[in-house]
Amino acid sequence: MPENAQPSTRDGFALFPDRSVVALRVNGELKDLATTVADTDAVEPVTIDSPDGLNILRHSTAHVLAQAVQRIKPQANLGIGPPITDGFYYDFGVDTPFTPEDVKAISKEMQRIVREGQRFVRRVVSDEEAHAELADEPFKLELIGLKSPSAAEGASVEVGEGELTIYDNVTKDGEVVWKDLCRGPHLPNTRMIGNGWDLTRIAAAYWRGSEKNPQLQRIYGTAWPSKDELRAYQHRLEEAAKRDHRRLGRELDLFSFPDEIGSGLSVWHPRGGIVRGEMEQHARRRHIAEGYSYVYTPHITKKDLFVTSNHLVTYADGIWPPIRMDEERDDEGNVTKQGVDYYLKPMNCPMHILIYKERARSYRDLPLRLAENGTVYRNELSGALHGLTRVRGFTQDDAHLFVTPDQLEAETTKVLEFVLSLLKDFGLSDFRLELSMRDDEKSKWIGEEDVWETATDALRRVALATGLELIEEPGEAAFYGPKIDLKVTDAIGRSWQLSTVQLDFNLPERFELEFTDRDGEKKRPIMIHRALFGSIERFFAILLEHYAGDFPLWLAPVQVVGVPVADEYADYLDDAVAALRAAGVRAEVDHSDDRMQKKIRTHTTGKVPLILIAGEQDRAAGTVSFRFRDGSQENGVPLSDAVELVRGAIEAHALVSSAADLRPEGASA
């Protein structure tokens, strides 16, 4: 560019005429497509099907929802309307709660607004101008002075640390027909919302998430780039409802949450206990083979331990209230020894650190791998509790590894390889990784920058070596070190975060951990935190939904049920089932008075993988018949072969839905 020449400028419409582009990222910041940019700017297109594009679509649809509500109920006051996972919501101050009929009318009005093709036009305003324009919106007025993305639940869509902006909805004739306090960006116009949206439910919600504030009415919705994607999402919801682990837990008699015990505290029934036991025992065998040592720690500890670890400061709101103990008094009631506060443990790591500290350590002792199925307790809000996936008491399959700096990369590689291998044992296979890193905000992190850089580079190499998709997330690291999070996609396309591998330089420093190196010098080990399942309860719930209750044969609470064609063949099936039990198979015979077909329906509904049937022909020949999940049968299987086939399928962790699944590849029927 010649000296003193001005850079040329164009807007996003000129730069990216593709209609799938709905916004821009200019020098790293999201902007409206109408934004004017210079040749010197770094500009990236944002497509509607990208994560940012979907958020913009959903937030724009939330604005249309709010406009429709105020067309029908002009006195409704606006709260906030952020995008959320798979959708959006908007809160309103109204005199009476919304009804299903209201929602239908609002939906029709939204359709009209979408067809009108109103433009979303951004406008910068001062605090005084915003107060004047939004004088009739008390909740918006409250947000104007906050200027912080964390000022309220979901309020980052309204106000931030920078300038205030209002978005006008402008008709084709140039008339401003509605406005909202908003940071944006938005779609160019309402017509781009299309028909891939729906309003899903209504609920009550407290303003700014506090019960001290007024209760508002919330309308939830979802929005997708096309009608087909909306239908696919609705199908996923229907499938998810069928697979809901809370419903399956009741139907299959696996677990419950008795009111007498308390919210978020589960009890495991015999059948659920079998599945959990198989999970734990298999993981334990694999851990021991990988060089881990199992330890056991108490459920309660003195306050000072969690003060030293900083958990009592960082996670104070999520820790149970203290229990005062150890106070002593004399005969006159005078305190002779002050009491001490004890806490139910929210984490296992400080106790594992104390095991490390119990004696002097040498480089020859490292890596030291400590594992525990440790039950922890967190004071979750009642509104956040959800079946087994969000509870107040749960068991972490926790492991903490203490390594020398030169062991870090090799040991992290082993950890990640082990995690992937063990999850595959449970039938999961669709993985991706996220690398959470430090950013440029120096005050948020502890430790030297060169240590962070070395550790982050090591994690990146380890992650890339797996060949899995890797997403890097600057600024998302724990304050004490970078981490890798593993996410898995289940049978119906939902993403779950499971395993975490975190590097920690902080706790070894706080607890003054040491090892004697080869040169005789005392040095700090690095600590690796690793939860493979995350929590056993949550992982169980994920597996239950992934398989819709049809567990693989090795995990099924009851693996085989014998159903006689008639009562006279029950004794023969008792002998067959006894042979299976002797081989370690969980098997039983149905001796109820029900007819054979009803028994088969009962155990099929009960998700029993294999039904063993026998009649006169089987008894005479010393055979049995298998009925499989898909309704097919294999008849005339010699009893000794049947036992061998079932044992083989269990050891192979096979799903066993048909005859082909029961027999090894190439085996003859």
Residue numbers belonging to the annotated binding site for Zn(2+): 349, 400, 529
Structure tokens at 610: 């294999």
Judge contact between 438 and 445, C-beta under 8 A. yes
Q: List, in sequence order, every residue forming a beta bridge with 204; answer none if it has no partner.
A: 217
Which of 540, 522, 501 is CA-nearest to residue 369? 501
Reported in sequence order, the residue ranges of 452-557 that DSSP labels E, i.e. its strands, are 470-474, 483-489, 495-504, 515-516, 522-523, 526-531
Pick the catalytic residue from 243, 392, 483, 603: 483
Pick the catalytic residue from 32, 91, 397, 398: 398
Which of 118, 56, 117, 110 is CA-nearest to residue 88? 56
Judge contact between 333 and 323, C-beta under 8 A. no
CA angle 399, 400, 406 (to 5 degrees): 130
**Residue 246 annotated among the catalytic residues of the structure:** no
**Residue 442 annotated among the catalytic residues of the structure:** no
Pick the catalytic residue from 400, 438, 538, 619: 400
User: What does the DSSP 8-state code read for residue 425?
Assistant: H
Measured distance CA(575)–CA(565) in Å, rounded: 15
First to last CA, the chain: 78
Residue 555, amino acid: L
Reported in sequence order, the residue ranges of 33-115 that DSSP labels E, i.e. its strands, are 36-38, 43-47, 77-78, 83-84, 87-93
Looking up tokens 């490390």 gives 356
Pick the catalytic residue from 118, 396, 502, 559: 396
Pick the catalytic residue from 287, 392, 529, 538: 529
Which of 507, 508, 511, 485 is CA-nearest to residue 496? 485
Residue 661, amino acid: D
| Ramachandran class of 70: left when φ > 0, alpha when ψ lies in -120 to 50, beta otherwise | alpha
Measured distance CA(585)–CA(502) in Å, rounded: 39
Which of 407, 272, 294, 308 is CA-nearest to residue 352? 294
Pick the catalytic residue from 349, 369, 538, 603: 349
**Residue 52 annotated among the catalytic residues of the structure:** no
**Residue 182 annotated among the catalytic residues of the structure:** no
612's CB contacts (< 8 A; 6+ apart) are: 560, 561, 562, 563, 573, 576, 577, 587, 624, 625, 626, 627, 642
**Rounded to an integer, what is the distance from CA 352 to the centroid of its chain?**
26
Distances (CA, A) of 258 to 163, 251, 255, 391: 51, 16, 10, 13
**Residue 63 annotated among the catalytic residues of the structure:** no
481's CB contacts (< 8 A; 6+ apart) are: 447, 452, 455, 502, 503, 504, 505, 506
Would you call the peptide bond into 185 cis, given omega within 30 degrees of 0 as the criterion?
Answer: yes
Structure tokens at 194: 């299309």
453's CB contacts (< 8 A; 6+ apart) are: none
Pick the catalytic residue from 31, 378, 586, 627: 378
The three-class DSSP label of residue 400 is strand
Do β-strands 393-403 and 368-377 pair in parallel, antiparallel, or remain unpaired?
A: antiparallel
Do β-strands 587-589 and 560-564 pair in parallel, antiparallel, or remain unpaired?
A: parallel
Catalytic machinery residues: 349, 378, 396, 398, 400, 483, 529
